Amino acid sequence: MARLTGKRCLVTGAGRGIGRAIALAFAREGAAVAVLDRREDLAMEVAAFLREQGATAAAVTGDVSQEVSVNAGIAAARDALGGIDVLVNNAGIDTNSRVIDMPVAMWDEMMAVNLRSVFLCTRAVLPEMVGRRWGRIINISSQLAHKGAAEMAHYAAAKAGVIGLTRSLAYEVAADGITVNAICPGPVDTELFRNIPEAWRTRKLAELPIGRAGTVEEIAPTAVLLASDEGSFYIGATLNPNGGDVMI
């Protein structure tokens, strides 16, 4: 039997990149999937593709950094699937600046999209998970949360915050049958990574023992593990598919 048969999963930022790969992997494992993205066209494209493959899927549009939008999006996903058993907080952005040059608006946007969103989406799904006494919350952080990077202090800080939130929440809800874990991918060949200045990308890839960026298909299986019954003993863990950029 597929490992996620009967599970209802919501993946944020699932219109492309790692989120899309996770949504597809979940569907292959038998899950019903809500594809949430701020771009309606991308959410609809992925949901339609999943339905063509025989999966139950719904497209949801929303801005995960805004409370009203999150609550509406979660409600729409819940209505479409009949509930939410698994939440993957994947939506995120990436910008570059030295701290000395960084506008406050850039810092605030990074915190809103990459950290505040995790809190908002998680808080919105917790009541039904607690009531059901079963749930999976998977937060996508980054290897830069562990090691930092020049010109990405705001990104590393937000992603480190995701790990802190993951661990603290894991203490709160483990007794309710809910696991909370984080995945810290290394450089992955996505549109987000390709939009980083080429000089920065070249330096980063040169640091990797594996000598290349990862693929989204190399990240998605970790999310499947954490969403499945096989992941039930992972509590507050940080899994690191990062090509050797951080070895912990």
Q: pLDDT by residue (tens digit) across 149-195?
A: 999 999 999 999 999 999 999 999 999 999 999 999 999 988 878 88
Residue 100 lies in a domain: yes
Residue 245 lies in a domain: no
| CATH code for the domain in which residue 161 is found | 3.40.50.720
Query: What positions carry a catalytic annotation?
Result: 155
Residue 194: give the domain boundaries: 8-238
First to last CA, the chain: 33
Tokens matching residue 3: 């490992």
Can you tell me the distance from the alpha carbon of 69 to that of 50, in angstroms, rounded to the nearest whole number?
Answer: 24
Kindly report the backbone phi and psi dihedral angles of residue 10, in degrees, each rounded to the nearest multiple of 5, phi listed first.
-115, 125
**71-128 pLDDT per residue, tens:** 999 999 999 999 999 999 999 999 999 999 999 999 999 999 999 999 999 999 999 9
Quote the number of domains for the chain.
Answer: 1
Residue 210 lies in a domain: yes
Residue 3 lies in a domain: no
